[in-house]
Amino acid sequence: MKKILLYLISIVILNACSDEIPEYHQSARAKRVVLAYLVANNNLDNYIMKNVQWMYQSLSTAQDTCTLVVYYKPYSSNKYLETAEILEFQTDGYGKINGQEILQGTSLTVENVIAQAKHHQARLGIATDPDIMKENLRMMQDIAPAESYGLIFGSHASGWLPSPTAVQSRSFGWDGIQSNTIDIPELATTLEQSFPTGNLEFTLFDACMMGTAEVFYELRNATHYCVASVMETPVAGFPYDRFFINLYDKYIDYAKICSETVQFNKENNWWGTYAAVDCTAMEEVAQAIQAEILSHQSELQTLDYTQVQQYGYGQYQYFAFDVVDLISQLNGGVVSANVQSSIDKAVIAKDCLDGKEYPLVTLRIDPERFCGMGMYFPDRNISYTWDRYYQSSIAWYNAAGWNEIQP
């Protein structure tokens, strides 16, 4: 009788357990982890805090385990963080983040998102210092080991331009009242050393003016893909709530990132150009551009660069010209097959707003002349400081053949 009773009890217990969701055990290495390196010790702090909330909002829709690790350097007036911290968010795929119920509705606030994060002490110091950046990126990878990583950079920026200069260019980052920055060659080296196995799948720059051939070429050995705007960008940044979860996909829909951001800007009556570029294809772009430049040296001397589509406004005017439009005008309105083919391979997605309807003050972008990346036109007396730095520090200068142009 006892054996029968025990048998019946066992069946009841097993049936009762069969409908329960099994506890999720995280694997030692995720397929992809997204990292965000946010230098908000400046007047963008409130906007970048909102970006973290948007990332969380999209992350909360995950049907599987996904991890976001954020380095955040706050401004002194930040209400939720007093110093630089590393924030960790991990979904379990069953409606919880960090073991707590997902925030939604009126509970989905910046304050609650930061409170729900797992907090880790970051390496203190200037966020744009290469050694500080490398140490924090190492710590972030230790927190969340993965087969591959995506990296979002958020702050002020001014592309390949040197820092500091007479025009207060920022390159990438603005940490504190001294506007501490990191130049793009330094950034490329830092990323190569931080991801020595070459597993940085993409880098997304939520920052101004990073969408140039100079930047993409510098990063060719650091990251596979790069998402950026060649223009100054609206302060609100990318609409992460619309696409962030897709950054964990094996094959990322970069066209969606560009189109969703353009649509977001359109809804707010802003401006914008966005592109995703395969940085590993930039050597071929450089070779194609070099061939055109060297075969049109006489045309270079007489080309009116003010008629080429350019992407800079105010003090940044003429820092970048559309690559294809410049070559086209050099070649009598025709783009060579080699240049077009190389651009088609490198620019895997792009979108922009028509500058006639959505200008950046006086800067108007013609969608028909937007190829996805810009580049500088050196030695035109645009800026002596820019020219000197370009020749001495930017690898694209030699790669594109500018160093071989005869005066």
Structure confidence by residue, pLDDT tens digits, 325-350: 999 999 999 999 999 999 999 999 99
pLDDT tens by residue, 270-288: 999 999 999 999 999 999 9
What average pLDDT does range 208-223 have in this prediction? 98
| Higher pLDDT, residue 27 or 77 | 77
DSSP assignment of 35-62: EEEEE-SSTTHHHHHHHHHHHHHHHTT-
Q: Examine the pLDDT at 246 and tell me if it is beyond 60.
A: yes
The Cα–Cα gap between 165 and 128 comes to 17
The predicted structure's pLDDT at residue 9: 38
Q: What is the DSSP letter of 81?
A: -
Q: Which amino acid is at 203?
A: T
Q: Using 50, 70 and 90 to split pLDDT, how confident is the model at 16?
A: very low
Q: What is the pLDDT of residue 179?
A: 74
Confidence check: pLDDT of 355 > 60: yes
- 91 burial (CB, 10 Å; 0-12 / 13-18 / 19+) is buried
Confidence of residue 163 (pLDDT cuts 50, 70, 90): confident
pLDDT for residue 6 is more than 90: no
pLDDT band at 177 (very low <50, low <70, confident <90, very high): confident
**Among 191, 137, 143, 182, residue whose Cα is nearest residue 164:** 182
Burial (CB count <10 Å: 0-12, 13-18, 19+), residue 302: exposed
What's the confidence (pLDDT) of residue 178? 72
- The model's confidence at residue 5, banded by pLDDT at 50, 70 and 90, is very low
**Residue ranges covered by each domain of the chain:** 30-281, 283-347+374-401
> pLDDT tens digits, residue range 187-198?
999 999 999 999
pLDDT, position 15: 39
When the pLDDT of each residue in the chain is averaged and rounded to a whole number, the result is: 91
Q: What is the mean pLDDT of residues 164-188?
A: 78
- pLDDT band at residue 158, thresholds of 50, 70 and 90? very high
Specify the residue for token string 């490198």.
Answer: 346
Q: How large is the average pLDDT for residues 251-265?
A: 98
Mean per-residue pLDDT, 370-394: 96
Residue 13 has pLDDT above 70, yes or no: no
Q: What is the pTM of this model?
A: 0.91
Lowest mean pLDDT among 18-27, 262-271, 396-405: 18-27
The contacts of residue 127 (CB under 8 Å, 6+ apart) are: 37, 39, 41, 71, 73, 84, 133, 136, 173, 175, 180
pLDDT of residue 407: 67
Residue 2 in this model has a pLDDT that exceeds 90: no
- CA distances to 53, 118, 133 from 99, rounded to whole Å, are 18, 10, 29
* Cα distance between residue 279 and residue 19, in whole Å: 48
pLDDT of residue 170: 64
Q: State which amino acid sits at residue 204.
A: L
pLDDT band at 261 (very low <50, low <70, confident <90, very high): very high
**CA atoms of 155 and 126, how far apart (whole Å):** 13
Does 223 have pLDDT greater than 50? yes
**In which residue are the tokens 């990583």 written?**
149
Mean pLDDT of all residues in 349-364: 98
**Average pLDDT value for residue range 7-20:** 37
CB 258 within 8 A of CB 313: no
Instruction: Supply the pLDDT for residue 176.
Output: 87
Task: Note if the bond before 367 is cis, omega within 30 degrees.
Answer: no
Mean pLDDT of the region 42-55: 98
What's the pLDDT at 3? 40
What is the model's pLDDT at position 164?
61
- By percentage, how much of the chain surpasses pLDDT 90? 88
* CATH architecture observed for domain 30-281: 3-Layer(aba) Sandwich (3.40)
Distance, in Å, from the CA atom of 255 to the CA atom of 117, rounded to the nearest integer, reads: 30
Token pair belonging to 127: 């966020």
